[in-house]
Amino acid sequence: MRVAFVIDALDSLDPSIDTSVGLMHAVQDRGLEVWATDALSISVIDGRARARARRVALAPSVRANGHRWTVPEPWFAVDTSVNVWLDEMGAVFMRTDPPVDETYLNATFVLDLVDRTRTAMVNDPRGLRAYNEKLYALRFTDLVPQTIVTADAAIILGFVADHGRAVVKPIDGYAGHGVLQLVEGDPNLRSLIEVSTRDGRRAVVVQRYLEEVTDGNKRLFVLDGVPTAAVFRYPADGDFRIGNPTAEAPITDRDREICSRLAPSLARHGLRMVGLDVIGPWLIEVNVTSPGALRKADALLGTTLCADLVDAVVIAPVAAGSREGGSE
């Protein structure tokens, strides 16, 4: 069986931490073929989704200290690129990093043509379009902290005045890029709002600052609506934004409540693997486009999150089909 990954350039990945690399290792370890392509290398030919792709062979890696893996150099080898039909793959993993721009969206429209009864899609392109990572959580107002979305400086100033401190972030941002802290009385406050909203030409997400962040930002790994593991991440020295995972986090009753509330809509839109960011009792973000930190958690905790995902979406359906076929 072949498994395709729509990802960024291989040489741009960090194999010591990148979840896509962990998933490719899991595929290879199960004796399956790993194929790599990118968002600009997929096409529609005669109504079918096709990709210019290369078969990838990964060098072995071992757990290192902390959240990293030790990898050799070079860490991968590839064959010459060829055309492959994506509906002949056992699974297609859409793992291109945000932002969700024109290139990304166009790729999801092409992937819509893949027959989901034959090929597992992780995550489903329809779900990737339906749910913005910053805004999806706002459908559940009792699960999130006070939040506004606006380009209006006056509204943002009023929100900061009400709460004293807030966090502003771009709607299409990722990995902490463009995240700023807004504090009442800061002489730079208006300037920061101008920068983040591009002088009122771009809406942004503004949330009440949560003091609970000092106790850690929790990343919940959710597979088919069920939390499977969690890690704590803490702000780095001199930076209020969240850093790398440093410790295992408990899965609380509140975490399970959040997951159970989201599970029906996640399933309805084919969002099988997501990463939830939780601070204290509050849901902050729902990572759906290229959920990360699984490989980091596997190194840090000794878990098998990458392998579990591959088993659930690739191996289990094949085994189920074999059982059904054998019973006839």
CB 113 within 8 Å of CB 44: yes
Q: SS3 for 106?
A: helix
Closest C-alpha to 302, from 222, 219, 231, 236: 231
Please give the distance of CA 324 from its chain centroid, rounded to a whole number: 33
> Model confidence over 236-277: pLDDT tens digits?
766 677 778 889 999 999 999 999 999 999 999 999 999 999
Q: SS3 for 308?
A: helix
User: What is the C-alpha separation between 204 and 198, in angstroms, rounded?
Assistant: 10
User: What is the C-alpha separation between 94 and 179, in angstroms, rounded?
Assistant: 25
Tell me the average pLDDT across 27-48.
97
Separation in Å, CA 109 to CA 22, 112, 149, 170: 26, 5, 27, 24
Tell me what pLDDT residue 328 has. 45
> Maximum distance among all alpha carbons in the chain?
75
In the numeric block, which tokens belong to residue 139?
């459908």
E strand spans, 99-239: 120-122, 147-150, 165-170, 180-183, 204-208, 217-223, 226-235
Whole-model pTM over 0.85: yes
Domains of the chain with bracketed CATH: 2-127 (3.40.50.20), 146-209 (3.30.1490.20), 212-309 (3.30.470.20)
Q: What is the DSSP string of 235-257?
A: EPTT--SEEEEEEE----HHHHH
Tell me what pLDDT residue 322 has. 56
CB 294 within 8 Å of CB 22: yes
Query: What residues does 198 pair with on adjacent strands?
Result: none
CB atoms within 10 A of CB 7: 24
Tell me the average pLDDT across 223-231.
96
Tell me what pLDDT residue 249 has. 95
> Model confidence over 178-213: pLDDT tens digits?
899 999 999 999 999 999 999 999 999 999 999 998
> Model confidence over 63-107: pLDDT tens digits?
998 999 999 999 999 999 999 999 999 999 999 988 889 999 999
CB atoms within 10 A of CB 83: 11
Predicted confidence band of residue 174 (pLDDT cuts 50, 70, 90): confident
> Model confidence over 100-133: pLDDT tens digits?
899 999 999 999 999 999 999 999 999 999 999 9
Closest C-alpha to 252, from 216, 305, 224: 216
